[in-house]
Amino acid sequence: MESILNTSKNQCYSCHTSGNTELHHIIYGSGMRKISDDNGLTCYLCAECHRGTDGVHGKNGDGLNRILKKEVQEAYEAIHGHEAWMKLIGRDYID
Ligand SMILES: [Zn+2]
Ligand SMILES: [Zn+2]
């Protein structure tokens, strides 16, 4: 489904640069990619914010990874509530 975040295909969700983007699955790893797809836990990132050194999958990406997870959890919980999130993902990224 469409992302539940305010994200557009022509703009990087993180740095807001306009242009080509890649779809990032915010919750990923062992079977979680499909859960992200099915529940709109995605955002569009420029190549740099996605795969660059400071990008979410890059070696300095931990900070951005955490921010995106927190923001998508907040957006999901605003719609479905905290219990539904915990049932779906099993981890709390808001602290
Ligand atoms: Zn970017
Ligand atoms: Zn990604």
Given a cut of 90, is residue 94 above it in pLDDT? Answer: yes
- Closest-approaching ligand to the CA atom of 45: 1
Q: Locate the domains of the chain by residue range.
A: 22-89
- How far is 79 from 94, CA to CA, in rounded Å? 16
Q: How far is CA 79 from CA 11, 40, 52, in A?
A: 24, 12, 32
Using one digit for the tens of pLDDT, what is the confidence trace for 14-73? 999 999 999 999 999 989 999 999 999 999 999 999 999 999 999 999 999 999 999 999
72-85 pLDDT tens trace: 999 999 999 999 99
Rounded to the nearest angstrom, the distance between the alpha carbon of 49 and the centre of ligand 1 is 4
Q: How far is the CA of 21 from the centre of ligand 1 (A)?
A: 8
Which residue matches tokens 């992302």?
3
Q: Is the pLDDT of residue 95 over 90?
A: no
Cα 72 to middle of ligand 2, angstroms: 14
Tell me the CA–centroid distance for residue 52 and ligand 1, in Å: 9
Q: How far is the CA of 79 from the centre of ligand 1 (A)?
A: 26
Whole-angstrom Cα distance, residue 21 to residue 50?
Answer: 9
